[in-house]
């Protein structure tokens, strides 16, 4: 199974914590005194001299590792589908493959503007191939790995030769900016990869590993139309805390080890690990749990934010293009993610960087 190319798209707008603090809702909802107390433990004198916005910045960095994130401009009409099209085009360009050669499109998203037509066939139409079929799946932050697994099955089973796997979310459209712990995390973006039966620079070394554990408490978003008549639009509801953090770390470790076992690859043969960029404390915790040397686990949440399923393909694309430093001539990369629900998965890919 070959990986021909990758691509991604993120908005130009880079919002730092100081600017985010001024968003309607956040300033009124944020407990400055409580956050100032938590920062006093690190430097009591400095904490007393900080402005409210600076307290928010320090709290956000301490809690999530995020200083800036990518958000769509306010009032902008860009949709998740728009971002998916841009990422998909870049993946095709990277692969040197025409859209006319695509057989199927799979989109992982929880924020598509339209339910019908689905985002995959909308993409096909926008790419000039309206007869190409496709569908959308939603396993939240694990969506790209799950979509990759479906694409793998389509190509391996001979049903398709070229499958475009895309994830994209406009999370700012469903983020509750009256809940600072949620609002500080989420961002917008899209990533894509082209799977093909034709030999290429990359390979997916075996079928991705997928798992699930039902829990509606960690991340929840009620479907549009299912709320109270005349009520507000539904927004993401996300729990946090140490238990959620530890669960995410253990789940991504276990999924990674299961995926490596499937393809008979050991940790000593892995050049890089791309975990879902859920929270800086989670990716650092995974690095410590795996006992890997610094630099092998990619930390990319600062400057990006949590873009749900798209964090893995965005970071993979940047890695393959040299944005995270040089790669080995034949690099083996573990992709791993856990999302609300819970859903999880991992895959092992190989890329010829020479």
Pick the catalytic residue: 138, 162, 279, 306? 306
Closest CA to 169 of 141, 203, 195: 141
- Rounded to 10 deg, the angle between the 311-320 and 143-156 helix axes is 70
DSSP for 272-310 reads EEEE--S-HHHHHHHHHHHTPPTTSB----TTT-B-GGG
Q: Yes or no: say if 166 and 174 are a contact pair by the CB < 8 Å rule.
A: no
C-alpha span between 135 and 279 (Å, rounded): 29
244 φ, ψ (degrees, to nearest 5): -65, -40
Q: Yes or no: say if 154 and 129 are a contact pair by the CB < 8 Å rule.
A: no
DSSP for 125-175 reads HHTT-TT--EEEE--GGGHHHHHHHHHHHHHHTTS-SEEEEEEEEEGGGT-
First to last CA, the chain: 19
Per-residue buried b or exposed e for 304-331, using 16+ beta carbons within 10 Å of the residue's own CB: bbbbbbbbbbbbbbbbbeeebeebeeeb
* Dihedral angle of Cα 123, 127, 130, 134, to the nearest 10 degrees: -40
Closest CA to 310 of 2, 10, 59: 10
217 φ, ψ (degrees, to nearest 5): -90, -30
Task: Please confirm, yes or no, whether 84 is among the known catalytic residues.
Answer: no
Pick the catalytic residue: 84, 141, 218, 299? 141
Pick the catalytic residue: 94, 247, 276, 299? 276
In this structure, the chain runs to a length of 354
Task: Please confirm, yes or no, whether 276 is among the known catalytic residues.
Answer: yes
Q: Yes or no: say if 272 and 286 are a contact pair by the CB < 8 Å rule.
A: no
Q: Yes or no: say if 238 and 182 are a contact pair by the CB < 8 Å rule.
A: yes
Task: Please confirm, yes or no, whether 141 is among the known catalytic residues.
Answer: yes
The catalytic residues are 141, 276, 306
């Amino acid at each position: 199974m070959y990986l021909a190319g990758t691509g991604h798209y993120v908005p130009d707008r880079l919002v730092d914590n100081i600017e985010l603090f001024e968003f309607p809702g956040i300033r009124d909802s944020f407990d400055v005194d409580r956050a100032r107390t938590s920062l006093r433990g690190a430097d009591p004198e400095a904490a007393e001299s900080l402005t409210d916005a600076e307290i928010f910045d320090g709290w956000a960095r301490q809690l999530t590792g995020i200083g800036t994130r990518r958000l769509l401009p306010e009032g902008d009409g860009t949709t998740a589908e728009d971002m998916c099209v841009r990422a998909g085009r870049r993946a095709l360009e990277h692969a040197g493959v025409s859209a006319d050669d695509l057989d199927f499109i799979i989109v992982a998203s929880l924020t598509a503007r339209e339910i019908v037509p689905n985002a995959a066939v909308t993409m096909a139409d926008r790419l000039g191939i309206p007869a190409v079929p496709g569908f959308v799946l939603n396993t939240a932050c694990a969506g790209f790995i799950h979509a990759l697994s479906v694409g793998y099955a389509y190509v391996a089973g001979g049903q398709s030769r070229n499958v475009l796997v895309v994830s994209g979310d406009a999370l700012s459209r469903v983020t509750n900016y009256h809940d600072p712990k949620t609002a500080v995390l989420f961002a917008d973006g899209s990533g894509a990869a082209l799977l093909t039966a034709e030999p290429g620079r990359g390979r997916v070394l075996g079928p991705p590993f997928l798992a699930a554990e039902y829990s509606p408490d960690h991340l929840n978003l009620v479907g549009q139309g299912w709320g109270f008549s005349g009520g507000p639009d539904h927004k993401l509801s996300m729990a946090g805390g140490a238990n959620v953090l530890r669960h995410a770390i253990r789940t991504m470790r276990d999924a990674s080890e299961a995926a490596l076992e499937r393809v008979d690859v050991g940790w000593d043969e892995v050049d890089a690990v791309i975990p879902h960029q859920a929270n800086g404390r989670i990716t650092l915790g995974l690095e410590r749990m795996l006992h890997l040397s610094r630099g092998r686990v990619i930390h990319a949440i600062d400057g990006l934010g949590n873009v749900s399923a798209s964090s893995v393909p965005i970071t993979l694309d940047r890695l393959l293009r040299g944005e995270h430093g040089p790669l080995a001539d034949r690099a083996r990369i573990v992709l791993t993610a856990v999302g609300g629900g819970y859903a999880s998965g991992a895959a092992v890919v190989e890329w010829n960087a020479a």
